[in-house]
């Protein structure tokens, strides 16, 4: 896990998203609501999955996301921002995204949560390099902690190997999700970037495309790992 | 929190449920699946509640229950029992109980989770005195840890104070739940008690009634705390 994130960190620095200067409170607030949302998606799968092992895997992933959420809200308090207010304005876009990507069954839900957190955690990790050094380091520590993904991957593989029909539906679902998640990332960039004198977001426009390409490459690796065509 | 549990511990010893000798693996397995179930109920409320503060309160209660579940499954492993197998036979009765007590809205769901964990955690705490001393102590430590109930109580109070109609529906719902939860407790006792030579459960029959009375008294205090008539 940590090794993968180390690799992503190197890639994040290669793609110069560091020129983008995010507004710290917006950045942390948005990331915090994303983690709470991940808790809700994973725990929904825990409720719907029939086997105890799958329920536990999804519940653990949910709990890890909540821990990140808690660390981020503590960070907001340490920045003298009100955690609820800082998250509130991002709640509505998240709810819209979830309404658009309502899964048809728990397997789609679990894949969706895995795909979403995979892409967005990496995206925010890349965006974090534009914060001040101390904050970048704090965000890296929070996002690099265990996220329970190994258990989720095992649970998804079990399902995928047991059912060819499900497997092809999940491949489609992953393809369907990635576009919507990348739109969330784009919107996150627009909403968390500090405006400069002329109202133009610093560096954002020039740097977003290569980052999107890298996010898609990581997504493809995650789908491969599950035995799914991206 | 700890003070309340201290008081309950004294009451647990007064009512001589200590004469009942539960089978350790059955006891821990059943308690572990109850905690996983509590995770699922609380997290469902987190998903359904509209406000971020309520979502967080329910999510934290869920996460605390999952932590207890994890500690109990570690205990099962230390007893050289297979955690999944030890829980599996209690999964079906729990699913039936949940089907019978499907809440009509998230407030009923949150009250239901609060009432269920309140009664059953206390019941298992009382029943634990019949285990060997080391095990009794371990179970007490696990069950006495923070369960996030303070946040849940605050969230429920906010709802109850804001809406008289909801308040009276929730009072009815609490009354509806308590009977079903006590049936789960009775069944838990029957299923976790070791059979002696003549096939009779040791001490169970004589001791269950006063315990039920005490569980109902605690339930009434919990409802009072919410401003609801039990």
Q: Is the pLDDT of residue B196 over 50?
A: no
| Spatial distance between the Cα atoms of A16 and A211, rounded to a whole number of angstroms | 9
| Spatial distance between the Cα atoms of A172 and B169, rounded to a whole number of angstroms | 44
| Spatial distance between the Cα atoms of B45 and A207, rounded to a whole number of angstroms | 40
pLDDT in tens, B154-170: 999 999 988 889 999 99
The answer, for A77 touching chain B at a CB cutoff of 8 Å, is no
B155 Cα distance to chain centroid: 19
φ and ψ of B131, to 5 deg: -80, 175
Over residues B139-155, mean pLDDT: 95
Q: Is the pLDDT of residue B5 over 70?
A: no
What band does B70 get if pLDDT is binned at 50, 70 and 90? very high
The answer, for B46 touching chain A at a CB cutoff of 8 Å, is yes
Which B-chain residues 83-142 have CB contacts (< 8 A) with chain A? 84, 87-88, 91
**CA end-to-end span of chain A:** 21
| Spatial distance between the Cα atoms of A144 and A136, rounded to a whole number of angstroms | 12
Q: What is the pLDDT of residue B153?
A: 96
Q: What is the pLDDT of residue B21?
A: 73
A199 Cα distance to chain centroid: 28
Q: What is the pLDDT of residue A1?
A: 44
Q: What is the pLDDT of residue A110?
A: 97
Q: Is the pLDDT of residue B207 over 70?
A: no
Q: Residue B144's closest CA among B157, B155, B156, B128?
A: B128
Closest residue in A to B86 (Cα) is: A52
Whether the pTM exceeds 0.95: the reply is no
The answer, for B9 touching chain A at a CB cutoff of 8 Å, is no
Q: What is the pLDDT of residue B199?
A: 47
φ and ψ of B80, to 5 deg: 60, 30
Over residues B134-146, mean pLDDT: 95
Other beta carbons less than 10 A from residue B221's beta carbon: 12
Residue A112 near residue A173 (C-beta atoms within 8 A): yes
Residue A86 near residue A29 (C-beta atoms within 8 A): yes
- Encoding tokens for residue A226? 């599950």
pLDDT tens for the 230 residues of chain A, in order? 446 665 555 555 444 565 677 889 999 999 999 999 999 999 999 999 999 999 999 999 999 999 999 999 999 999 999 999 999 989 988 888 999 899 999 999 999 999 999 999 999 999 998 899 999 999 999 999 989 999 999 999 999 988 889 999 999 999 999 999 999 888 888 776 654 444 445 455 556 788 889 999 999 999 999 999 87
Q: What is the pLDDT of residue A2?
A: 47
Q: What rounded mean pLDDT belongs to chain B?
A: 87
**A47 to chain B nearest CA, in Å?**
5
Q: Across A4-8, A14-18, B4-8, B88-92, which has the greatest mean pLDDT? A: B88-92
What region, left, alpha or beta, does residue B131 occupy, with left being phi > 0 and alpha being psi -120 to 50 degrees? beta
ipTM metric: 0.85
How many A-B residue pairs are in contact by the CB < 8 A criterion?
68
A62 Cα distance to chain centroid: 13
What band does B192 get if pLDDT is binned at 50, 70 and 90? low
The answer, for B31 touching chain A at a CB cutoff of 8 Å, is no
Residue A55 near residue B36 (C-beta atoms within 8 A): yes
Q: Is the pLDDT of residue B122 over 90?
A: yes
Q: What is the DSSP string of chain A?
A: -HHHHHHHHHHHHHTTGGG--B-HHHHHHHHHHHHHHHHHHHHHHHHH-SSHHHHHHHHHHHHHHHHHHHHHHHHHHHTT--HHHHHHHHHHHHHHHHHHT--SSHHHHHHHHHHHHHHHHHHHHHHGGGS-HHHHHHHHHHHHS--SHHHHHHHHHHHHHH-HHHHHHHHHHHHHHHHHHHHHHHHHHHHHBPB-TTSPBSSHHHHHHHHHHHHHHHHHHHHHHTT---
pLDDT in tens, A161-178: 888 899 999 999 999 999
| Spatial distance between the Cα atoms of B219 and B202, rounded to a whole number of angstroms | 27
**Burial of A213 per CB tally in 10 Å (0-12, 13-18, 19+):** exposed
């Amino acid at each position: 896990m940590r090794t993968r994130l180390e690799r992503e960190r190197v890639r994040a620095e290669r793609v110069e998203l560091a020129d983008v200067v995010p507004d710290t409170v917006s950045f942390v607030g948005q990331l915090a609501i994303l983690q709470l949302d991940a808790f809700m998606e994973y725990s929904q799968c825990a409720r719907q999955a029939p086997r105890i092992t799958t329920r536990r895997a999804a519940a653990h992933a949910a709990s890890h996301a909540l821990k990140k959420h808690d660390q981020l809200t503590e960070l907001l308090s340490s920045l003298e921002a009100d955690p609820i207010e800082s998250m509130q304005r991002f709640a509505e876009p998240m709810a819209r995204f979830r309404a658009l990507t309502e899964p048809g069954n728990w397997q789609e839900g679990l894949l969706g949560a895995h795909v979403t957190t995979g892409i967005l955690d990496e995206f925010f990790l890349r965006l974090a390099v534009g914060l001040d050094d101390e904050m970048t380091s704090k965000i890296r520590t929070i996002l690099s902690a265990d996220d329970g993904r190994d258990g989720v991957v095992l649970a998804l593989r079990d399902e995928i190997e047991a059912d060819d029909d499900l497997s092809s539906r999940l491949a489609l679902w992953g393809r369907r999700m990635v576009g919507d998640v990348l739109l969330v990332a784009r919107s996150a960039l627009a909403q968390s970037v500090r405006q400069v004198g002329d109202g133009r977001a610093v560096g954002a426009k020039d740097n977003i495309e290569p980052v999107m390409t890298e996010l898609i490459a990581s997504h493809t690796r995650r789908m491969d790992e599950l035995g799914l065509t991206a």
